[in-house]
Amino acid sequence: KAGVTQTPRYLIKTRGQQVTLSCSPISGHRSVSWYQQTPGQGLQFLFEYFSETQRNKGNFPGRFSGRQFSNSRSEMNVSTLELGDSALYLCASSVGDGTGYFGPGTRLTVT
Amino acid sequence: AQSVTQPDIHITVSEGASLELRCNYSYGATPYLFWYVQSPGQGLQLLLKYFSGDTLVQGIKGFEAEFKRSQSSFNLRKPSVHWSDAAEYFCAVGRPPMEYGNKLVFGAGTILRVKS
């Protein structure tokens, strides 16, 4: 089976802009979770989608949002980008047993 | 709330030596425990997981981990380290997904350096 794919792999944006990241889960996985990884804060949970519904949400401002489509692909959106949003954004898919299988990540740089 | 502590930020071992990375968790019930490895600029690769049953679990690349409820620990071990094991290792804890979803809480990570 193909693994989790994330696009794009790298992004450079300017403060104030918005960005959309995409994640395609492993075939048959209906759960998609998003994580932000920074040197200062480590790996932090953003949100989880399961069957097109947000099931869990981390402690991030409303500028961070997501959605999931009927084919389980997920997108996350960050509006009004700030310098502190520079991070590696990781997507994980799960078949539902609690195990997360991670994609390669999207490296977002905000200038 | 769940939490994970990895006491060692950096560890250096010689190639061929044994390795133990420490992980302590805080969670009221039986946790779902994981170890992941991350090479620079890459995603996380699952090494092994523990849900229930035998407290010694085997993973990929020759790694194993032991769940000790009395110590709230889930330490990762490898008997003989290879230079290719140099990476960052993360311990994570989750809860029963049917009730709580698939959210994972991660430790801060341990960077492993291997000396030749």
Q: What's the pLDDT tens digit per position in B80-92?
A: 999 999 999 999 9
> pLDDT class for A96, splitting at 50, 70, 90?
confident
In sequence order, what are the beta bridge partners of A13? A110
Amino acid symbol at A8: P
Q: What do you get for the CA distance between the two ends of chain A, in Å?
A: 37
- What is the 8-class DSSP label of residue A97? S
Q: Which parts of chain B register pLDDT below 70?
A: none
Contacts of A33 in chain B (CB under 8 A): 102-104
Nearest CA in chain B to A97: B97
* Cβ pairs bridging A and B (under 8 Å): 73
pLDDT of residue B95: 86
Q: Which residues contact A62 (CB under 8 A, 6 or more apart)?
A: none
